[in-house]
Structure 1
Amino acid sequence: MVILYQLERTWGIPNLSHFCCKTETYLRMADIKYTVTPTLPLFAPKGKLPYIEDGDLKLADSRFIIRHLKNKYRDLDEELTLEESALSLAMQRLLEEHLFWATMYSRWQYTDANWQVNKKAIFGVMPPVIRDVAAFYYRRRIHRQILGHGTGRHSANEIFELGMQDVDALSACLGDKTYFLGDKPTSLDASAFGFLINTLGCPIESPLKEHALAKDNLRSYVDRIKLQYYPDL
């Protein structure tokens, strides 16, 4: 059985980590049996979550995890055409390599109120002294990553403007479909749900969240996926 290592659940959503939520959603959409072990990134093989254990295999990074799940268990993308596969890859890159950074900025840098909510959710399980040191270290580390990516070199208004363009593209791509590529879930839906619920479904306030909440189809999509695949929440 697959063991999924990820952050503790909080905020009433599957996971505050976009990538952990993406991975668990794929497991649920593909009906793959798994168990969850909560942990922190510093204990992970690549210093990031999620990672899995499957027998003797230990594997990190959601992309490689899902590739393994496709090959060994069930491939949700097996019926996609070449054109659909290309669109799926492009939209996942939009989510994971661009929109992600706007949401990270919202949590770690935009306002102190957001940072305090984020800090409590991630580091609240630690003893106070260790918690404050770890939070300070990881906040500085994330700031450097946001800056290195390029997002952190923009003003808040510019960052959110770019993020809103991503949200607009996602809303247009989804349209009135049940899932992004038709009437069946694919790996794109696992990724889209993980990132959208971490944009509009968590207690981190920003103009980006407000813009996403104004998209009726995205809001309904997130609610529908959560109800269907996470009835336990």
Structure 2
Amino acid sequence: MLTLYSYPALFGVADNNGYGLKVFAFLRLAGVPFRHEHIFDASKAPRGQLPYIVDGNDTVGDSETILGFVTQKYRLTIDAGLSPAQRTTNLLITRMLDDLYWVMSYSRWKDERFWPAFRAALLREHPNLTEEGLAKAQAFNHQRYYYQGIGRFDGDAAMARGVADLGTLAALIPQHGYLHGDKPTSIDAGIYGFIANIYFYDIDTPLKQFVAAQENIVRHCRAIHEAVSL
């Protein structure tokens, strides 16, 4: 059976990282049986990044590569009805979510307004973690943010960038149904992966404030959450 390796749960979602939760939701929506293993150590993962899957003799990393691999291997039809224009929209949204990822991560590990509450939540929900280990992870993330660029923004400017991304999603998500119709497709899993990690996040960041005020985004998030939760 396929095994998904991803970061542990937090605040009631199956993975506290948008990419892992995206793969989790996709597998659930597509009806692919799988085991879910929660890990913190990504050293054995392809490219040293989570999530990744092991399926028989195949080990596959990168969330988009995973979705493509699983779709082909299991002949999934979740996206079969999409038009070329819809597939183009999906790619644009996926790339925008990559941008949103950095702001979300910054809000947890770097922004001093929210880092203490995030650290406390990790220690509370995952007692195997230590203050020393989290301090090392924080230092590593600060270095990543600097070289990626988001780390050179102050907190308000970084959050404004994320709110702009979320505003685009608010303009695209319909009041009813899913992005491309009455049934969810892979892009809905991708959107859920990130939005759920904002909406269910029990810390009142500007990102959460914006999401909570958008009825269409909240409805979409809750619909996918109900569909993929056991």
What is the TM-score of this pair, normalised by structure 2? 0.91
Aligned to 1:24: 24
Q: Structure 1 pair 44/123, CA: closer, same or farther in 2 (3 Å)?
A: farther
CA distance, structure 1, for counterparts of residue 18 and residue 120 of structure 2:
16
The farther-off stretch of 60-69 and 44-53 is: 44-53
Q: Structure 1 pair 133/220, CA: closer, same or farther in 2 (3 Å)?
A: same
Q: CA RMSD in A?
A: 1.7
Residue correspondence of structure 1 range 54-73 to structure 2 within 5 A: 54-73=55-74
Aligned to 2:154: 155
By how many angstroms is 1:172 displaced? 0.8
SS of the equivalent of 2:203 reads: coil
Residue correspondence of structure 1 range 202-217 to structure 2 within 5 A: 202-217=201-216
Identity of aligned residues (%): 26
What is the TM-score of this pair, normalised by structure 1? 0.90
In structure 2, runs of 5+ residues without a counterpart are: none
Aligned to 1:144: 143
Aligned to 2:105: 104
In structure 1, runs of 5+ residues without a counterpart are: none
Assess if the C-alpha contact under 8 Å between 2:52 and 2:61 holds in 1. Answer: yes
Q: Structure 1 pair 69/75, CA: closer, same or farther in 2 (3 Å)?
A: farther
Residue correspondence of structure 1 range 1-233 to structure 2 within 5 A: 1-45=1-45, 46-73=47-74, 74-95=76-97, 97-110=98-111, 111=113, 112-117=115-120, 119-120=122-123, 124-126=127-129, 131-230=130-229, 232=230
Residues 142-187 of structure 1, C-alpha deviations (whole Å, 9 max, x = no match): 1111122211111211111111111111011012241111112111
By how many angstroms is 1:124 displaced? 3.2
Q: Structure 1 pair 71/41, CA: closer, same or farther in 2 (3 Å)?
A: same
Q: Structure 1 pair 7/122, CA: closer, same or farther in 2 (3 Å)?
A: farther
Aligned length: 226
CA distance, structure 2, for counterparts of residue 2 and residue 173 of structure 1:
33
Residues 37-85 of structure 1, C-alpha deviations (whole Å, 9 max, x = no match): 2222334323221111100111111111111111111142221111100
By how many angstroms is 1:121 displaced? 6.3
